[in-house]
Amino acid sequence: MTISPQVATSILPAAVRILEANWNGSYTLPAAGLYPHQWSWDSAFIAMGLRHISPRRAGQELDSLLAGQWADGRIPQIIFDVHRDQDYSPGASFWRSELLDASPDDVLTAGLVQPPNHAWAVWKIHQADPVESGRRRFLQRAYPRLVAWHEYLLTRRDRGGRGLASIVHPWESGTDNSPLWDEALQAVPAESRHTIVRPDLLHADATERPSHRDYGRYFWLAERYRDHDCDDADADYPFLMEDPAFNTLLAVSELALEKIAAELGLDGARHAKAAEAIAGALEELFDEQVGCYVARNVCTGRLASKATINGLLPLLIPNVRRRAELIQTATGVRFLGGASLLVPSYDATATDMDPQLYWRGPAWFNMNWMMVTAFAQAGETGRATELASAALRLALDNDFPEYVNPWTGTPHGTRKFSWTAALALDLEVDAVHGLL
């Protein structure tokens, strides 16, 4: 991969400074102002970059996240810093996890989850320094927890009964206001009982964040889930979606568990089988019209027929059956072919695509990092290299933003965003080692 010498020598110190500043002693804040707690899938992405600076600290990041795991196996969306409860909503006082037997005694958490990229991260951290990992018995401690996490998703969360995990809230997708959830959210009342406060708007422009109407629905759903003790047995619960990105990460993480099991001298065959079963079940979500995978509304059986970055991510699954179609769609007018610098989060040809509104158009660095990995894996090295170069330059030139306009590169959301720094670092290291 060719990256300019100026970018190559600047990413490392700039990214390290951000990861240092956002480290709070046992985990990394996604962003010091906007996101003042520990977030689940952020921590896994951050650890994938941190492993290049300190494999030990990357392990700690995951250890502190796994300390928030519930007895039913779930790894929560957020582990709260109780001293900053006023700075983010909904916080610990909304979730009241201390009242539930299944939640841990010593930390307060949200009841929701986020996409399961953790086993993938654990395996990468181990590989970065197997001796250090062995000394800390990192894999031995993480493996049973990760198995319990996946079991939770493939049993309690298989609300559709088709071998895919359902999300119960847009926040669980990590792509909060993606157009994939629009139709299903129509069935959700827009008014919650809780008074909604928006500390997020102190740190990001309202035009770049979900609307108040979106938040009304988000809070209504969160209240309903909380008031049913977060037990996943609420028969009339109105928002259950099978997300192709969430389930892709589950399959990729099952493949990581297969490797972890082998390293521990255990039989990993069941994990390979699970990954294959998830990939097979995902096939039902392929939409010929839009040329990628889409989400299914478990409550109605309807497909949300929209082209989003979530629907391209199954390209990360080795031997995915629709590889050729996915590459065609990713490089066609809906995504990169529309003269985009990075892969947008939503179909560039859609009339409601908004290049600066959160998950409804902008390009995100974690998604583009996954697309670089997917292209490289599919043998599309030219694409992978081009995308990685653009991501590195845009990250560095814009103080590691949360997301950017995919056409102009204009930064949006917060800056000094931890996963942007960590994943840029990872891309740079791969580039230096000729892995891209």
Binding region for ligand 9WN (CB under 6 A): 30, 35, 39, 41-42, 77, 171, 174, 176, 200
Tokens 């031997």 correspond to: 319
For the bound state, the minimum distance from the C-beta of residue 76 to ligand 9WN, rounded and expressed in Å, comes to 11
Let me know if 354 is a catalytic residue.
no
Tokens 């660095």 correspond to: 365
For the bound state, the minimum distance from the C-beta of residue 37 to ligand 9WN, rounded and expressed in Å, comes to 9
- 183 and 126 in contact (C-beta within 8 Å)? no
For the bound state, the minimum distance from the C-beta of residue 415 to ligand 9WN, rounded and expressed in Å, comes to 13
Pick 259 or 412: Cβ nearer ligand 9WN: 412
Calculate the dihedral angle through the C-alpha atoms of 102, 108, 113, 117, rounding to the nearest 10 degrees. -110
Pick 143 or 419: Cβ nearer ligand 9WN: 419
Rounded CA-CA distance 297/301 in Å is 5
Q: What SS3 class is residue 339?
A: coil
- Measured CA to CA in angstroms, residue 159 lies from 119, 175, 293 at distances of 23, 20, 19
For the bound state, the minimum distance from the C-beta of residue 178 to ligand 9WN, rounded and expressed in Å, comes to 9
Q: Which of 151, 176, 287, 399 is catalytic?
A: 176
Segment (H or E) for 304: strand 303-304
Rounded CA-CA distance 135/213 in Å is 50
Residue 79 corresponds to which tokens in the numbers above? 């582990």
Pick 171 or 346: Cβ nearer ligand 9WN: 171
Q: Which of 81, 200, 258, 402 is catalytic?
A: 402
Please give the full DSSP string across 44-99, using - where no structure is assigned. Answer: HHHHHHHTTT-HHHHHHHHHHHHTT--TTSPPBSEE--GGGGGGSSS-HHHH-GGG
Pick 389 or 414: Cβ nearer ligand 9WN: 414
For the bound state, the minimum distance from the C-beta of residue 379 to ligand 9WN, rounded and expressed in Å, comes to 29
For the bound state, the minimum distance from the C-beta of residue 428 to ligand 9WN, rounded and expressed in Å, comes to 21
- Ramachandran category for residue 161: left, alpha or beta (phi over 0 → left; psi -120 to 50 → alpha): left
Pick 356 or 389: Cβ nearer ligand 9WN: 356
Rounded CA-CA distance 108/79 in Å is 6
Q: What is the CA radius of gyration of the chain?
A: 20
Rounded CA-CA distance 362/346 in Å is 8
**Helix 365-377 to helix 40-50 angle, to the nearest 10 degrees?**
60
Let me know if 81 is a catalytic residue.
no
Pick 123 or 219: Cβ nearer ligand 9WN: 219
For the bound state, the minimum distance from the C-beta of residue 363 to ligand 9WN, rounded and expressed in Å, comes to 14
Pick 224 or 259: Cβ nearer ligand 9WN: 224
CB atoms within 10 A of CB 432: 14
Pick 39 or 95: Cβ nearer ligand 9WN: 39
For residue 162, the Cα-to-chain-centroid distance in whole angstroms is 22
Rounded CA-CA distance 225/381 in Å is 44
For the bound state, the minimum distance from the C-beta of residue 139 to ligand 9WN, rounded and expressed in Å, comes to 25
Cβ burial of 408 (10 Å; 0-12, 13-18, 19+) is exposed
At position 160, the amino acid (one-letter code) is G
Calculate the dihedral angle through the C-alpha atoms of 356, 360, 362, 364, rounding to the nearest 10 degrees. 140
Rounded CA-CA distance 125/256 in Å is 11
Would you please indicate which residues are annotated as catalytic (active-site) residues? 176, 402
